[in-house]
């Protein structure tokens, strides 16, 4: 039985290796090492595809996909490895796809690691993996994060020849709405239908089924509300009033599930005061713009929010790679700066996102908040990300001249 399943999976593997592949922007030090390589990220973001093509450069490797209902009751791990060794000629390079579906997977990997296997695993549940890795594989693993395509990766699909600036801007408009899930672009399929199905699968398969959620419609309602209010603040109390979920504990638990499954992520307000760092008020973002446009309660796209969400995603990539810490800023007058970037002990950059600066009042409001935050946080690197306005302007505040850089989104994304 196990042998037959592995043979069928091996046939699927050969087909996947013939598909078009875009090289991902990954720190090679994290993957060219003898540790267990743990590749995490959203479903269908390209985790296994990345690992398959990386391993395909080696002489040989073996492969098991545990996101397969036929392996759900697997108990004999030794039988699995015997069949793998026979099928793949005793390869010491092995890829286990969606490892979180395998009971006691962390102990199994530990044993194989001691036996000298070069192990790659993928997973779509950040907390489940992190908890077990910290407990059983401390110091023995290297974590690689795979998100849907960045804009740079998205452009690689269109690089038959050098792109003009107008072509890059046109592709940004497409990327802004459709998002970066690889199959949508590579196979040119309807993004709304694809992402709607994927979203439902994550909710019901990765969350409701795994955690035995008693009222699945409640967590679905919560997810829909968050998608329709991207880049807005929330608190547990405000979500209780809106969703009719009676318990703040349940709200917190459901939010945790949605973040662990890589649908949403939240940012805290920045503060030097320890008490304020634990404020229940946060801002919510989605892992991919396409999901927002496919599922949110919107009549037409809100390009201002989509711009901000795209910037949040790119900064979140860097935070997950331990390159920075990410927050937002707000003062008592409710003036706000979208992103506070902290590197080490210092605030290195403040970023405001403004899709349209044609209205002078909007420009004044956005820059005033940015300058106030710059004074409070002692940061001179002030940036406004725009649709197409580009300039460095000197502005005076509190008797001091401050320079602000206005940068179009497409240029900012390519300069990262």
* CB 240 within 8 Å of CB 246: yes
Query: Is there a single domain that holds both residue 13 and residue 91?
Result: yes
Query: Is there a single domain that holds both residue 127 and residue 29?
Result: yes
Per-state percent for the chain, helix, strand, coil, to nearest 5: 50, 20, 35
Q: How far apart are CA 140 and CA 186, in angstroms?
A: 35
Residue 38 placed within a domain = yes
Query: Is there a single domain that holds both residue 405 and residue 294?
Result: no
Q: Which of 145, 170, 202 is the last residue of a domain?
A: 145
Residue 124 placed within a domain = yes
Q: Which domain holds residue 278?
A: 190-301
Query: Is there a single domain that holds both residue 36 and residue 138?
Result: yes
Query: Is there a single domain that holds both residue 198 and residue 141?
Result: no
- Identify the CA nearest to 87 among candidates 10, 155, 187, 15: 10
CA angle, residues 350, 352, 357, in degrees to nearest 5 = 145
Q: How far apart are CA 181 and CA 29, in angstroms?
A: 25
* pLDDT tens, N- to C-terminus, the chain (416 residues): 899 999 999 999 999 898 888 889 888 788 888 899 999 999 999 999 999 999 998 778 999 999 999 998 898 999 999 999 999 999 999 999 998 888 888 889 999 999 999 999 998 877 666 666 767 677 788 889 999 999 999 999 877 678 999 999 999 999 999 999 999 998 889 999 999 999 999 999 889 998 999 999 999 999 999 999 999 999 999 999 888 888 999 999 999 999 999 999 999 999 887 766 677 899 999 999 999 999 987 767 799 999 999 999 999 999 999 999 999 999 999 999 999 999 999 999 999 999 989 899 999 999 999 999 999 999 999 999 999 999 999 987 767 789 999 999 999 999 97
Query: Is there a single domain that holds both residue 271 and residue 345?
Result: no
Give the CATH number of the domain where residue 212 resides: 1.10.10
Query: Is there a single domain that holds both residue 197 and residue 281?
Result: yes
Query: Is there a single domain that holds both residue 138 and residue 215?
Result: no
Residue 177 placed within a domain = no
- What Cα–Cα distance (Å) separates residue 395 from each residue in 194, 334, 353, 368, 372? 46, 22, 18, 9, 12
Give the CATH number of the domain where residue 94 resides: 3.40.50
Report DSSP state, residue 30: G
Q: Across 201-330, where does the E strand assignment appear?
A: 233-234, 264-269, 282-286, 325-330
Task: Give pTM, 2 decimals.
Answer: 0.93
Query: Is there a single domain that holds both residue 348 and residue 292?
Result: no
For the chain, what is the domain count?
3
Residue 24 placed within a domain = yes
Query: Is there a single domain that holds both residue 297 and residue 345?
Result: no
Q: Which of 116, 145, 174 is the last residue of a domain?
A: 145
Q: Which of 89, 123, 145 is the last residue of a domain?
A: 145
Query: Is there a single domain that holds both residue 117 and residue 212?
Result: no
Query: Is there a single domain that holds both residue 284 and residue 357?
Result: no
């Amino acid at each position: 039985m196990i042998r037959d399943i592995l043979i069928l999976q091996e046939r699927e593997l050969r087909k996947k290796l013939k598909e078009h592949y875009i090289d991902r922007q990954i720190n090679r030090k994290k993957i060219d090492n003898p540790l267990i390589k743990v590749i995490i990220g959203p479903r269908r973001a390209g985790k296994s595809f990345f690992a398959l093509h990386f391993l395909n450069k080696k002489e040989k490797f073996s492969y098991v996909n545990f996101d397969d209902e036929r392996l759900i009751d697997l108990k004999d791990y030794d039988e699995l490895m015997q069949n793998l060794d026979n099928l793949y000629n005793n390869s010491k390079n092995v890829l286990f796809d969606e490892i979180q579906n395998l009971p006691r997977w962390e102990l199994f990997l530990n044993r194989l690691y001691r036996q000298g296997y070069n192990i790659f695993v993928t997973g779509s549940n950040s907390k489940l993996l992190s908890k077990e890795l910290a407990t059983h594989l401390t110091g023995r693993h290297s974590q690689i994060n795979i998100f849907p395509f960045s804009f740079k990766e998205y452009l690689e699909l269109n690089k038959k020849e050098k792109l003009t600036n107008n072509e890059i801007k046109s592709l940004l408009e497409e990327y802004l709405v459709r998002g970066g899930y690889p199959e949508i672009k590579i196979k040119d399929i309807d993004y709304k239908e694809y992402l709607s199905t994927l979203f439902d699968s994550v909710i019901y398969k990765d969350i409701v089924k795994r955690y035995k959620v008693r009222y699945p419609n409640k967590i679905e309602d919560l997810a829909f509300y968050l998608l329709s209010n991207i880049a807005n603040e929330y608190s547990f109390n405000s979500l209780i009033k809106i969703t009719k979920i009676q318990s703040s504990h349940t709200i917190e638990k459901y939010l945790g599930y949605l973040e662990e499954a890589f649908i949403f992520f939240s940012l805290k307000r920045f503060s030097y005061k320890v008490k304020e760092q634990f404020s229940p008020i946060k801002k919510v973002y989605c892992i991919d713009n396409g999901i927002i446009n496919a599922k949110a309660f919107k009549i037409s796209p809100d390009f201002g929010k989509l711009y901000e969400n795209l910037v949040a995603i790119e900064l979140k990539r860097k935070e997950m790679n331990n390159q920075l810490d990410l927050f937002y800023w707000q003062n008592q007058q409710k003036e706000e700066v979208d992103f506070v970037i902290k590197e080490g002990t210092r605030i290195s950059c403040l970023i405001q996102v403004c899709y349209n600066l044609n209205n002078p009042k909007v420009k004044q409001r956005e820059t005033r908040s940015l300058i106030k935050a710059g004074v409070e946080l002692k940061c001179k690197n002030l940036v406004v990300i725009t649709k197409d306005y580009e300039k460095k302007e000197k502005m005076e505040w509190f008797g001091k001249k401050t320079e602000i850089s206005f940068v179009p989104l497409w240029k900012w994304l390519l300069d990262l």
